[in-house]
Structure 1
């Protein structure tokens, strides 16, 4: 099977990670895949905030858990790297652009032997006063919407099997 198709068909969400930090070369490859995702009008509206500091990972986990009212859990499953993907609100297709970037990053991670998972609630986190203050602290200026978070690490679990695909999901009009 074609290597790209193999990656697309076999990538699964990983929710248990080794404590070891991923390599800079793997991180940069995943980010590059995100940066090269298609975007509406080639506006490249997606931006990426990489968090690897253990203190900031705990803070981000706390913020994400608070959105769903579940203090004390780790919505990032102990991943040593998280990448928040945001997009400029005034672009043509900001959410779509960031979603494509996230998809590219998840697939690139799998191709590199990393585990990954898309985590929600970035929108709520970065709409909050605390989230806006963090963006400013990190040097992110402008009007952005949080779209999702890509968590990355070396898997500490078997890759799950694919769920059966939904029937009647493809329609042909020839």
Structure 2
């Protein structure tokens, strides 16, 4: 079987992570894969890597608060990748989704788990989230 097809078949969402920081070179390779994703008219989304534990924990609490929960919806992951795409771009959701797909597939291929986490749009559109991002962006997270 083709290696890419095999990786696609084997990749699964991971919801339990080691506390170790993912090595910088692995994070960079995963981000590069996201930047290689197909997109409409060259409108590449922006990928932000959150490795600061304090900020990561704050984002996790904000994400959980969208639903009124009090759990770590990042499942202990040491790194959170945030995908930003301009709301003004008609294909922002599609382009961002392709980026997230590439991120998750390559994370699997490099031996790192991932999970697509929702609610980022609501999180960043909240009053508290305004200080973390301009309101002109759509968000997805891995």
TM normalised by structure 2 equals 0.96
Give ranges in structure 2 of 5+ residues lacking alignment: none
Aligned partners of 2:132 and 2:125: how far apart in 1? Answer: 11
Aligned partners of 2:62 and 2:128: how far apart in 1? Answer: 9
Which structure 2 residues correspond to residues 7-18 of structure 1 after superposition, within 5 A?
A: 7-18=7-18
Aligned partners of 2:98 and 2:12: how far apart in 1? Answer: 16
Shift >2 Å, 4+ stretches: none
| Structure 1 residue 49: Cα displacement | 1.7
Which structure 2 residues correspond to residues 103-142 of structure 1 after superposition, within 5 A?
A: 103-135=101-133
Q: Is the 8 A contact 2:124 2:135 kept in 1?
A: no
Aligned partners of 2:28 and 2:56: how far apart in 1? Answer: 19
Aligned partners of 1:65 and 1:88: how far apart in 2? Answer: 24
Give ranges in structure 1 of 5+ residues lacking alignment: 136-140, 151-174
> 1:59 maps to which residue?
58
> 1:80 maps to which residue?
78
* Residues 113-157 of structure 1, C-alpha deviations (whole Å, 9 max, x = no match): 10110000011011112212112xxxxx571111x211xxxxxxx
* Residues 67-89 of structure 1, C-alpha deviations (whole Å, 9 max, x = no match): 01012x10000000001112111
| Structure 1 residue 59: Cα displacement | 0.4
Q: Secondary structure at the match of 1:57?
A: helix
Which structure 2 residues correspond to residues 19-30 of structure 1 after superposition, within 5 A?
A: 19-30=19-30
Structure with the largest fraction of strand: 1
Please say if 1:143 is aligned against 2:141. Answer: no
Aligned partners of 1:119 and 1:88: how far apart in 2? Answer: 19
> Larger Cα Rg: Structure 1 or Structure 2?
1
Aligned partners of 2:19 and 2:43: how far apart in 1? Answer: 36
Structure with the largest fraction of helix: 2
| Structure 1 residue 38: Cα displacement | 0.5
TM normalised by structure 1 equals 0.79
